[in-house]
């Protein structure tokens, strides 16, 4: 099968927003360190673990995402 490239459209406005966000993200990293860990830490401090798991199960039941058959989402998962 010949694979064609999807249609790319240059978007200078998005490029500008990406650059602005890059500056903001660098500032965030300087303030908070590893941004992924900072996000995880914030989520742990703000949200309830069991409620998050229940909400995720509801999200899957609504047809979003694909359940992994061997994934245990329970508290000890």
Partner 1 sequence: MARQSRTTTSDPMGRIVDLGLPGVQLPSPLALDSSVLIPQFLTAFHTPHPRVALRAAQLFALLQSSGAVGIITSTVANEFFHFAITATYKAEIPNHHANLVAHFGRRRGFDWKDLYKIDGTILQRLDSDLERLRRFVRGNGLVFLQPDDLMPVASGRPLDEELVHLVGLYGLDTSDTAVLVEAQRAGVSSIATLDQDMHRAVADFDVYTWL
Counting other chains too, the contacts that 53-59 makes at CB distance below 8 Å and 24 or more residues apart are none
d(CA 55, CA 65): 13
Question: Shortest Cβ distance from residue 54 to partner 1 (Å)?
Answer: 5
Contact between 66 and partner 1 per CB under 8 A: yes
Would you give the distance in Å from CA 76 to the centre of its chain? 22
Contact between 61 and partner 1 per CB under 8 A: no
d(CA 59, CA 4): 34
One symbol per residue from 4 to 33: x for binding partner 1 (CB under 8 A), - otherwise; what is it? xxxxxxxx-xx--xx--xx-xx--xx--x-
Which residues in this chain contact partner 1 in the complex, by CB under 8 A? Answer: 3-11, 13-14, 17-18, 21-22, 24-25, 28-29, 32, 35-36, 38-44, 46-56, 58-59, 63-66, 68, 70-73, 77
């Amino acid at each position: 099968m010949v694979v064609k490239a999807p249609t790319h459209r240059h978007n200078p406005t998005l490029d500008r927003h990406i650059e602005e966000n890059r500056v903001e993200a660098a500032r965030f990293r300087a303030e908070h360190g590893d941004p992924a860990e900072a996000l995880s830490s914030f989520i742990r401090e703000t949200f309830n673990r069991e409620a998050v798991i229940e909400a995720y199960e509801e999200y899957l039941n609504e047809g979003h995402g694909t359940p992994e058959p061997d994934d245990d989402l329970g508290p000890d998962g």
